[in-house]
A and B are shown apart, each in its own frame.
Chain A
C-alpha cells in the first residue's frame, strides 16, 4: 500500500460521486502515480463500504479485461475484478436511462450463479463447474468514469471496473451440460449484428475467469459465496450504445436477453 487511509477514502468518495452524478474525471493515477494494486482494490472496497452503509446490497461479482488480446495489450496476466451493486439491475427487456450514465458500452457475457461457495487459492475450471448452479446469458453495461476512456488498469480497478448496469436472461442451464467454450454469441443493435464471438474468447473458457476470481479473493481471505452471481467477462469488444438503441444478445443454447436505452 502506497496511499494513506485518508487519500483512499477521498478517492473512493470522488469516484463514487462521479458514478452517482454521471460526471467524468481524469484518471486518478495522474495525481497519485505511486498507487499500487492493493491501493486500487482498497479504493474499490471503500466504494463498496459506502454503498452498503447507504443500504445497497452487492448483487453480483464481475471479471473484466478477460480477453488474451486485451491482457497482452495492457501487459497483465490476470483479469480485473469488481462488484455489481443491486441498483444496477435492469429487468430482461427493461430500459436503461442514458442520462444516468456517462458513455455506456455493452458487453455480452456468460453469467454464472453458484450453488456452493468457492475459495482459492487452487481453484480451477473443474472446481468452478462443480460449484456452479447454472449459467445464463447476460448483458453488462459498463460506464468508465474516466474522461474519453483514458485510463490505466489501477484506475479501472479503483473505479469498480466500470460497473454500471446489468441485465440477465431468464433461460438457465446447468453448466455441466454445455460446452461453454463453443457457445456462440451474437450481439445486435437495432436489429443489425454489431459483434460476434464464442465463449473461448474469455481466457479460453469462461469458467477460468470465475476460478481466477476465487483465487484473487482467496488471497485476500475472502471467497465467492454460495448463491453469488458472476459476470465472467465480455466475449466481444464493448459496443457503444446511446438513446433509442435496442440491444439484443443471443447465446447458443441460452436463448436471448434484451434491453433498450432511453
Chain B
C-alpha cells in the first residue's frame, strides 16, 4: 500500500472518529491490505490526534484471547495507543454522545515505573518494571460500520480503542497471582461475565512482555509512567445510555462506570 493511500485512510478514520460516524471496512475496499498496512494507517490516525493536541499516556493490547484470535484468524495480539482524551476514573460517567458503538471489557492495567525496551523482555522484566496493577474497563469502540472488522481494520482503527476507566487501587504485582485472579463483570447489578487473568495469553504479564518485544523491534519503548491495558478477561459486553457497570478483580480491586 503506497503512502498516499495510507495517509488517505488514516485521515478518513480520524474524521470518522472526530465526527462519531462509521466507515465501510477498509478490508472490503482494499482486498490486499496487510496487517503492516494497518499499523501504518494507525500511525497516521494517531499523528492526526497528536497534532490536534492529545498526548500519549500508554498503550493497549488487543486480541489477547484464543477465542478472539480464532475469530479474527490470527495467531498473535494487536496493539494501539492510549491518549489523554481517553482517560476516565473510577465512578465517573461517560457521555454516550462521544462514542459510536461501545462495548465494555474488564481488564488488568499495568502502570510502569521503568522503561521497557524489547527485544529480550521477559516476564521477570515486566514485573520488575511495574509500579502496580489496577482494575480497569476498556471501552472499545469501532469506527468501522457494525463492527464488521477484519484484523487489518481493527489495527488501522487503533485496535478499536474508545476510552478507558481506571479503578482507584494500585496493587503490587508481587502480591497477586495474575494468572488465576478472577474477574466479575456486572451490568446493572447482574453478573454478565466472569473470567480469570489467564484469559490474556495465559497471563496478562505475557501480554505486556509481548508488547514490549513487538514495539522494541520498532525501537519504541514502553515508558515509565505509562498505563498498559493488557487485554480482556472475558467477552466484551455492549453498553447503552443508562447502563451502570462494575468490574471486580480478585486481589486487585474494582472499578465502576456509568454511561449517560
Residue pair A198, B184 in contact (C-beta under 8 Å)? yes
A184 within 8 A of B: yes
Question: How many pairs of residues, A versus B, come closer than 8 Å at their CB atoms?
Answer: 80
Which of A200, A250, A253 is B194 in contact with, Cβ under 8 Å?
Answer: A200
B182 within 8 A of A: yes
* B198 / chain A contacts, CB cutoff of 8 Å: 184, 186, 193, 196, 250
**Contacts of B209-236 to chain A: CB distance below 8 A:** 233-234
**Contacts of A165-205 to chain B: CB distance below 8 A:** 179, 181-186, 193, 196-201, 204
A contact residues, total (Cβ < 8 Å): 21
Residue pair B196, A186 in contact (C-beta under 8 Å)? yes
* A257 / chain B contacts, CB cutoff of 8 Å: none
Which residue of chain B has its CB nearest to the CB of A186? B198
A183 to B249, CA, bound (A): 9
Residue pair A235, B250 in contact (C-beta under 8 Å)? no
* B202 / chain A contacts, CB cutoff of 8 Å: 193
Residue pair A204, B182 in contact (C-beta under 8 Å)? no
Residue pair B251, A68 in contact (C-beta under 8 Å)? no
A84 within 8 A of B: no
**Contacts of B164-178 to chain A: CB distance below 8 A:** 177
B25 within 8 A of A: no
B158 CB → nearest A CB, Å = 27
Residue pair B196, A185 in contact (C-beta under 8 Å)? yes
**Contacts of A229-248 to chain B: CB distance below 8 A:** 235
Which residue of chain A has its CB nearest to the CB of B254? A182
B contact residues, total (Cβ < 8 Å): 23
* B66 / chain A contacts, CB cutoff of 8 Å: 193
Which residue of chain B has its CB nearest to the CB of A192? B66
A201 to B190, CA, bound (A): 11
B118 CB → nearest A CB, Å = 25
A181 to B194, CA, bound (A): 10
* A252 / chain B contacts, CB cutoff of 8 Å: 177, 180-182, 196, 250-251
A204 to B182, CA, bound (A): 13
A84 CB → nearest B CB, Å = 25
Which residue of chain A has its CB nearest to the CB of B201? A193
A251 within 8 A of B: yes
B154 within 8 A of A: no
Which of A183, A200, A253 is B191 in contact with, Cβ under 8 Å?
Answer: A200
Which residue of chain A has its CB nearest to the CB of B203? A186
Residue pair B249, A182 in contact (C-beta under 8 Å)? yes
A116 to B250, CA, bound (A): 28
Which of A179, A185, A200, A201 is B180 in contact with, Cβ under 8 Å?
Answer: A185
* A198 / chain B contacts, CB cutoff of 8 Å: 182-184, 194-196, 250
Contacts A198-B184, A199-B182, A253-B177 hold; do A184 and B197 have CB atoms under 8 A apart?
Answer: yes
A193 to B198, CA, bound (A): 8
Residue pair A185, B191 in contact (C-beta under 8 Å)? no
Residue pair B248, A184 in contact (C-beta under 8 Å)? no
B45 CB → nearest A CB, Å = 32
Contacts A182-B248, A184-B196 hold; do A251 and B180 have CB atoms under 8 A apart?
Answer: yes
Which residue of chain A has its CB nearest to the CB of B234? A196
| Residue from B181, B184, B196, B250 with most neighbouring chain A CB atoms (10 Å) | B196
Which residue of chain B has its CB nearest to the CB of A252? B180
Chosen A-B contacts, 18 in total, with CB atoms closer than 8 Å, are A182-B184, A182-B249, A183-B182, A184-B196, A184-B250, A185-B182, A186-B198, A193-B198, A196-B195, A196-B199, A197-B194, A198-B184, A199-B182, A200-B182, A200-B184, A201-B194, A251-B180, A253-B250
- Which residues of B come within 8 Å of A, CB atoms? 66, 177, 179-184, 190-191, 194-199, 202, 233-234, 248-251
- Which residues of A come within 8 Å of B, CB atoms? 68, 179, 181-186, 193, 196-201, 204, 235, 250-253
Across the A-B interface, give the 6 residue pairs with the lowest CB-CB distance, nearest first.
A198-B182, A184-B196, A184-B182, A182-B250, A198-B194, A252-B180
Given contacts A182-B250, A183-B180, A201-B191, 9 further A-B contacts (CB under 8 A): A68-B190, A184-B250, A196-B199, A197-B196, A235-B194, A252-B180, A252-B181, A252-B182, A253-B180
